């Protein structure tokens, strides 16, 4: 498994990372997936305090045990919930961030977090306070690096130039290319992108026909447009899963792509697709964009 530098940090993370949100709440099932990922060379796992209301962090912390040093853990903060109350509310206040990070540390069973990310953000947030809090947590050794999970340009333009953030988590795939106009800006600020939604809810896998029956469209694509596009892609690429991964990893600003797995079988499919990437001949950005778009008239 190849690794890439996360922004200008000293962290080098695997090109494929494991999305914690899809992990089973059963400890043994989760452990089998995490162990398989680590054995395959994956060293980055993404979670959040919101996932299963903290249970996801607890499971990861319990499973890791002595293998903690083999993994770079990224978690998130900002969505606050109250035990016994349905739903959650946005809270990016310095007070809450300082409170939440210690709860995450306890659940993860560790004394530091590798990458701490704001789980969203609005232009009205106290960005000076947020950045100061992250910088102090880093200075104190509580976190190693920090970043944000957001696709909002106005938020990124406010946050990145004023901070030492090293990561931006964004949804990006061959079927959702919104972040492309911001990749150069993000790189110029010393940060990398970690992508989610890479396989577009399974539409960019070899099970795309089955997945297509379960959706009413995807982003700006109608079902008919998806059918035309995916059928065309399948004629040119025998493995859409490999294509989906390769499409993201072609971008130097992207350090890793987060793929969820609820079973060892799903993880194995991703690992197999990753191994096939180098077999995709003449793969470049222009080629991929042409292949992805030429079947939809208005694009």
pLDDT tens digits, the chain, 299 residues: what are they? 999 999 999 999 999 999 988 888 888 999 999 999 999 999 999 999 988 777 889 999 988 887 888 899 999 999 887 777 677 788 999 999 999 999 999 999 999 999 999 999 999 999 999 999 999 999 999 999 999 999 999 999 999 999 999 999 999 999 999 999 999 999 999 999 999 999 999 999 999 999 999 999 999 899 999 998 899 888 888 889 998 999 999 899 999 999 999 999 999 999 999 998 866 655 554 455 555 555 443 33
Give me the pLDDT at residue 64, please. 85
| Separation between Cα atoms, residue 68 and residue 94, nearest integer Å | 28
Q: Which residue has the tokens 């990398």?
A: 192
Nearest to 73 by CA among 120, 26, 37: 37
Task: Give SS3 for 85.
Answer: coil
The total number of residues shown for the chain amounts to 299
Q: Which residue has the tokens 């008239």?
A: 297
Where in the sequence numbering do the catalytic residues fall?
Answer: 51
Residue 288 and residue 174 in contact, taking contact as beta carbons nearer than 8 Å: yes
| Separation between Cα atoms, residue 250 and residue 107, nearest integer Å | 35
**N- to C-terminal Cα separation, the chain:** 35
Q: What is the 3-state secondary structure (H, E, C) of 177-217?
A: CHHHHHHHHHHHCCCEEEEECCCHHHCCCCCHHHHHCCCCC
| Separation between Cα atoms, residue 123 and residue 13, nearest integer Å | 30
Give me the pLDDT at residue 286, please. 46
Count of other CB atoms within 10 angstroms of residue 245: 27
Give the pairing of strands 88-90 and 79-81. antiparallel
Give me the pLDDT at residue 126, please. 96
For the entire predicted model, the pTM comes to 0.90
Q: What fold does the segment set 3-289 form as a domain?
A: TIM Barrel (3.20.20)
Q: Which residue has the tokens 């000076």?
A: 128
Give start and end residues of each alpha helix (H) in 94-239. 94-108, 127-139, 153-159, 183-188, 208-212, 223-236
| Separation between Cα atoms, residue 144 and residue 142, nearest integer Å | 7
Give me the pLDDT at residue 52, please. 78
Which residues are bridge partners to 93 per DSSP? none
Q: Supply φ then ψ for residue 157, to 5 degrees.
A: -65, -30
């Amino acid at each position: 498994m190849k690794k890439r530098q996360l922004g200008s940090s000293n962290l080098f993370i695997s090109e494929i990372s494991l999305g914690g949100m899809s992990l089973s709440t059963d400890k043994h099932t989760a452990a089998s997936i995490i162990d398989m990922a680590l054995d395959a060379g994956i060293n980055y796992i993404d979670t959040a305090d919101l996932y299963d209301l903290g249970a996801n962090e607890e499971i990861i912390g319990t499973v890791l045990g002595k293998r903690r040093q083999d993994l770079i853990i990224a978690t998130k903060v900002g969505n606050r919930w109250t035990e016994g109350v349905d739903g959650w509310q946005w809270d990016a206040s310095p007070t809450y961030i300082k409170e939440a990070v210690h709860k995450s540390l306890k659940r993860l069973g560790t004394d530091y977090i590798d990458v701490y990310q704001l789980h969203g953000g609005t232009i009205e947030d106290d960005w000076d306070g947020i950045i100061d809090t992250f910088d102090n947590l880093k200075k104190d050794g509580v976190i190693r690096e920090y970043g944000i999970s957001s696709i909002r340009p106005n938020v990124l333009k406010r946050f990145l130039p004023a901070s030492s953030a090293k990561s931006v988590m964004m949804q990006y795939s061959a079927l959702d290319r919104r972040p492309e106009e911001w990749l150069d800006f993000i790189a110029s600020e010393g940060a990398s992108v970690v992508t989610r939604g890479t396989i577009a809810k399974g539409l960019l896998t070899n099970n795309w026909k089955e997945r297509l029956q379960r959706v009413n469209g995807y982003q700006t694509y109608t079902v008919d447009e998806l059918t035309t596009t995916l059928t065309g892609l399948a004629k040119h690429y025998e493995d859409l899963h490999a294509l989906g991964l390769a499409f993201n990893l072609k971008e130097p600003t992207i350090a890793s792509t987060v793929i969820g797995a609820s079973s060892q079988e799903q993880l194995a499919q991703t690992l197999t697709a990753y191994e096939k990437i180098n077999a995709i001949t003449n793969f470049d950005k222009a080629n991929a964009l042409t292949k992805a778009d030429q079947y939809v008239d208005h694009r």
